[in-house]
Amino acid sequence: MSETVPMLDSLGALGAALRVQGSRVGVGELLAAHRALEAVDCCSREESRLALRAVLCSDRGDLSRFELAFAAVFGSGQVADDGNPLEELGTIARQALPRAAIPGSAAPAPGAAEESTAVPAAWSDVELLREKDFSHYTEAEMALARELIARLARRGPTRLSRRTRPVRRRRGHQPDLRRVLRASLRTGGDPVHRHWRAPRRRPRPVVLVCDVSGSMTPYARMLLQYLQASVAARRRVEAFAFGTRLTRITNELEGRDHDRALTRAAAAVSDFSGGTRIGAALAELNRVHGRRIGRGAVIVILSDGWDRGDPELLGAEMARLRRSAHRLVWLNPLAAHPDFEPLTRGMRAAVPHTDELLAGNSLASLEELASILEEI
């Protein structure tokens, strides 16, 4: 019985590590994992790993997540070297996850008690990463945050369409004359049964414009992940990057392969970590891509507002952009500081034309952006 409790805690920790990466692991899968360990030789680390992988992975994407979670909970089973990609993830996970007694993991220190105390078998994505500044993320934390960003990217604005759909309730809807006439054929031509239609909801266009200049380097990588997840998750999303010039990267960010999409975008943008000319970039957005953006889109600008260009040009282009947009939202990582005030020339010119000014430095700020987009 003393070995069962630590094992149950470790299986719970493994399930939590998979859930935080986006895998669907519930009580049924954990019970199946317990039965799978009983059916194999638990003295073999490889057999235990394969048995757990068979019952906890439901698609191809879960395989890589399982390997990361298994190494984080049970150890890598070998002496880590400088090239071990699981080393950082294991360091983070060991701060919150219990270690298990599967053979192959590190042996307990001499003189340690045989019975381990119960430890809460989870690490919370909200507790660990939600409020943490993007500039302080490690490589392993960026990988863990990828699934959380993908969930937020699925939340977007909608609008009422001219197309309608059948509904049951009458409240505020128009009558469906075609269905009423068709139903009256069964009642001798009398329209006894009433039918109604209501407008459909369609995705509202979203335009994401990300600053990749030198001052945004600590945040640009995570914000580009949000751009890629938004383009891959929803329709009618346009993505742009700018430093000294504007580059459309929507086509480069398409596809399910996150790493390849970001590699293509990095190759397309030639002014990473350079200067900033926000006014000139918005001028090109208005004149060159204005027809592609159209009217009624939600435009989100992700920048710290440090601009080397003319502030009057920036103010004029912001005013023009605001007239064609449904809502204009600005995400500034510097706005997370409690004493922040828009004192730079760029922000002073942009704020009068901005509907919302949010901090873009953490998952919490992206969650706030997602909530605003859903309410639009």
Q: What is the largest CA-CA distance in the chain?
A: 91
User: What distance in Å separates the CA atoms of residue 187 and residue 2, rounded to the nearest whole number?
Assistant: 73
Whether residues 354 and 223 fall in one domain? yes
Whether residues 249 and 174 fall in one domain? no
Whether residues 77 and 218 fall in one domain? no
Q: What percent of the chain has pLDDT over 90?
A: 41
- Burial (Cβ within 10 Å: 0-12, 13-18, ≥19) of residue 149: buried
Cβ atoms < 10 Å from Cβ of 56:
24
Answer yes or no: is 125 within a domain. Answer: no
Residue 279 C-beta-side C-alpha neighbours within 13 Å: 16
pLDDT averaged over the chain? Answer: 83
Q: Is the pLDDT of residue 93 over 80?
A: no
Q: Is the pLDDT of residue 92 over 90?
A: no
171-193 burial by CB neighbour count: b if 16+ within 10 A, else e? eebeebeeeeeebeeeeeeeeee
Chain CA centroid to CA 274, Å: 26
Q: Is the pLDDT of residue 76 over 60?
A: yes
Whether residues 221 and 347 fall in one domain? yes
Lowest-confidence region among 35-49, 73-87, 88-102, 142-156: 88-102
Q: What percent of the chain has pLDDT over 70?
A: 84
Chain CA centroid to CA 214, Å: 24
Single-letter residue type at 307: D
Answer yes or no: is 195 within a domain. Answer: yes
Residue 198: helix, strand or coil by DSSP? strand
Whether residues 347 and 229 fall in one domain? yes
Greater confidence (282 vs 90) lies with 282
Residue 147 C-beta-side C-alpha neighbours within 13 Å: 17
Whether residues 359 and 255 fall in one domain? yes
Domain with 78, as residue range(s), is 4-96
DSSP H helices in the chain: 4-20, 27-39, 45-56, 61-74, 87-94, 125, 139-153, 177-184, 217-233, 250-253, 258-268, 278-288, 290-293, 311-324, 345-350, 363-375
Number of domains in the chain: 3
Whether residues 253 and 371 fall in one domain? yes
Which pLDDT tens digit goes with each residue over 238-273?
A: 999 999 999 999 999 998 888 899 999 999 998 888
At 172 the pLDDT is 63
Q: Is the pLDDT of residue 156 over 50?
A: yes
Provide the strand spans (E) within 94-175.
158-167, 174-175
Answer yes or no: is 223 within a domain. Answer: yes
Task: Give yes or no for a contact between 250 and 237, defined as CB atoms under 8 angstroms apart.
Answer: yes
At 1 the pLDDT is 42
User: What distance in Å separates the CA atoms of residue 144 and residue 163, rounded to the nearest whole number?
Assistant: 40
Answer yes or no: is 199 within a domain. Answer: yes
Whether residues 240 and 345 fall in one domain? yes
Three-state helix/strand/coil letters over 297-335: EEEEEECCCCCCCCHHHHHHHHHHHHHHEEEEEEECHHH
Task: Give yes or no for a contact between 209 and 300, defined as CB atoms under 8 angstroms apart.
Answer: yes
Question: Could you tell me the CATH number of the domain that includes residue 368?
Answer: 3.40.50.410
Whether residues 82 and 186 fall in one domain? no
Whether residues 251 and 348 fall in one domain? yes
Whether residues 263 and 355 fall in one domain? yes
- Where is the domain boundary, 149, 176, 203? 203
Answer yes or no: is 103 within a domain. Answer: no
Task: Give yes or no for a contact between 358 and 369, defined as CB atoms under 8 angstroms apart.
Answer: yes
Q: What is the pTM of this model?
A: 0.66
Whether residues 238 and 309 fall in one domain? yes
Phi/psi of residue 330, each to 5°? -120, 125
Residue 242: helix, strand or coil by DSSP? strand
